[in-house]
């Protein structure tokens, strides 16, 4: 049993009436991975996580979590996992310590290990100085760390986190990921969903999901190596006009706005002057451009464009 993956899915599908939220997801996540499911809002991330945590049943297909089937082994799965949904059930009128005690009671954590475990989790999340503070008076980042501590009180084998850094300030996001790395060192398998595409770079493996379809699953470096086509970064006087013009250019495979810059994927490395010339004909003045290596954001935009038959376009989430 030790060589079994932590998570395995086989043609997993979920429909809500005529809407297909997931379309035949097949993948494996090995023990000890920090797996990131990356995609925009509405891509199917939360639906997949709810299926894997046995909160809901699939329409078709199957999955196994900690070697137990999600259809018939929900109670055994829940003993092995921790699940922190987007709106984790903290009690804002309870203190930090009272919330931890409450979840220790829910998970039936034995008195012999309870105190040590709570002290460790408080130190782990830098919440020790705030044990007497009401949860409702914590910052967004601190609430997320308390939610994680409560989810970890029963030492799970697999940790599911549904967009845990959504709406959290950059410093708290960084601190949260530091905690995840420490958990990874302890052998916890982590499944995290995010719409922040830059967070994909922090995962050992990622899955890119769009409109319920898993477009790619591999290490970030392998995905970049596989899909790294020619790309330029350019500065111009009107990025929105330039993007609209580039979307109609057959030499452009993807385009995204990055602040005052545009990233454009090209069909061929030598086409940059041609594309720049075409933009000038549309009254777009390019001040400067350079060739760059595509990021995960760039690749994802390009893959979305390929799936829809258009040049991928949009603005990265972070």
Write the pLDDT tens digit of every residue in 250-275.
999 889 888 889 999 999 999 999 99
pLDDT at 110 over 60: yes
- Distance between CA 267 and CA 215 in Å, rounded? 20
* pLDDT tens per residue across span 166-223: 888 888 888 889 889 989 999 999 999 998 888 889 999 999 999 999 999 999 999 9
Residue at which a domain ends, from 224, 249, 280: 224
* Mean pLDDT of all residues in 130-141: 94
Q: Both 97 and 233 in a single domain? A: no
Q: Both 186 and 286 in a single domain? A: no
| Parallel/antiparallel/unpaired status of strands 205-210 and 213-218 | antiparallel
Q: Both 260 and 290 in a single domain? A: yes
Q: Both 277 and 189 in a single domain? A: no
Q: Both 129 and 238 in a single domain? A: no
pLDDT at 313 over 80: no
Domain that holds residue 254: 228-314
- Let me know if residue 32 belongs to a domain: yes
Domains of the chain: total: 2
- Let me know if residue 205 belongs to a domain: yes
Strand, helix or coil for residue 88:
coil
Tokens at residue 269, please?
């490395």
pLDDT at 13 over 70: yes
pLDDT at 27 over 60: yes
- Let me know if residue 252 belongs to a domain: yes
- Distance between CA 153 and CA 132 in Å, rounded? 18
Q: Both 217 and 233 in a single domain? A: no
pLDDT computed for residue 2 by the predictor: 62
Q: Which residue has the higher pLDDT, 205 or 285?
A: 205
Q: Both 193 and 247 in a single domain? A: no
pLDDT at 151 over 60: yes
Tokens at residue 119, please?
């002290």
Say which CATH number the domain at 199 has.
Answer: 3.40.50.300
Which pLDDT band holds residue 314 (cuts at 50, 70, 90)? very low
Strand, helix or coil for residue 179:
helix
Q: Both 238 and 217 in a single domain? A: no
Residue at which a domain ends, from 224, 253, 268: 224
Q: Is the pTM of this model over 0.75?
A: yes
pLDDT at 304 over 70: yes
Q: Both 239 and 161 in a single domain? A: no
- Let me know if residue 1 belongs to a domain: no
Q: Which of 53, 46, 44, 51 is nearest to 20 (CA)?
A: 44
- Distance between CA 73 and CA 202 in Å, rounded? 31
Q: Both 218 and 294 in a single domain? A: no
pLDDT computed for residue 305 by the predictor: 66
Say which CATH number the domain at 253 has.
Answer: 3.30.70.100
Q: Which of 71, 102, 69, 105 is nearest to 88 (CA)?
A: 102
- Distance between CA 68 and CA 56 in Å, rounded? 15
Q: Both 151 and 285 in a single domain? A: no
Strand, helix or coil for residue 30:
coil
Mean residue pLDDT across the chain: 90
């Amino acid at each position: 049993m030790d060589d079994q993956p932590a998570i395995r899915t086989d043609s997993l599908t979920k429909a809500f009436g005529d809407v297909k939220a997931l379309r035949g997801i097949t993948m494996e996540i090995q023990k000890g991975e920090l797996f990131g499911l990356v995609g925009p809002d509405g891509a199917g991330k939360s639906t997949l996580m709810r299926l894997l945590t046995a909160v809901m049943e699939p329409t078709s297909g199957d999955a196994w979590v900690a070697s137990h089937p999600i259809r018939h082994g929900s109670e055994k799965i829940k003993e092995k996992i921790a699940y922190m949904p987007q709106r984790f059930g903290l009690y804002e009128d309870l203190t930090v310590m009272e919330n931890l005690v409450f979840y220790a009671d829910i998970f039936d954590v034995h008195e012999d290990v309870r105190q040590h475990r709570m002290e460790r989790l408080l130190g782990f999340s830098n919440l020790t100085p705030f044990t007497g503070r009401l949860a409702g008076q914590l910052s967004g980042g601190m609430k997320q760390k308390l939610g994680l501590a409560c989810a970890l009180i029963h030492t799970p084998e697999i940790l599911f986190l549904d967009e845990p850094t959504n709406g959290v300030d950059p410093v708290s996001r960084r601190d949260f990921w530091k905690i995840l790395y420490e958990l990874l060192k302890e052998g916890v398998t982590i499944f995290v969903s995010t719409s922040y595409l830059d967070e994909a770079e922090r995962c050992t493996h990622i899955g890119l999901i769009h409109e319920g379809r898993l477009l790619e699953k591999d290490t970030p470096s392998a995905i970049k190596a596989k899909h790294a086509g020619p790309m330029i970064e350019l500065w111009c006087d009107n990025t929105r006009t330039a993007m609209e013009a580039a979307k109609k250019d057959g030499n452009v495979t993807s385009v995204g706005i990055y602040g005052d810059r545009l990233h454009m994927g090209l069909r061929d490395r030598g086409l940059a002057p041609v594309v720049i010339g075409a933009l000038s004909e549309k009254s777009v003045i390019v001040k400067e451009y350079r060739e760059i290596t595509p990021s995960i954001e760039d690749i994802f935009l390009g893959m979305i464009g390929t799936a829809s038959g258009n040049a991928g376009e949009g603005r990265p989430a972070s």
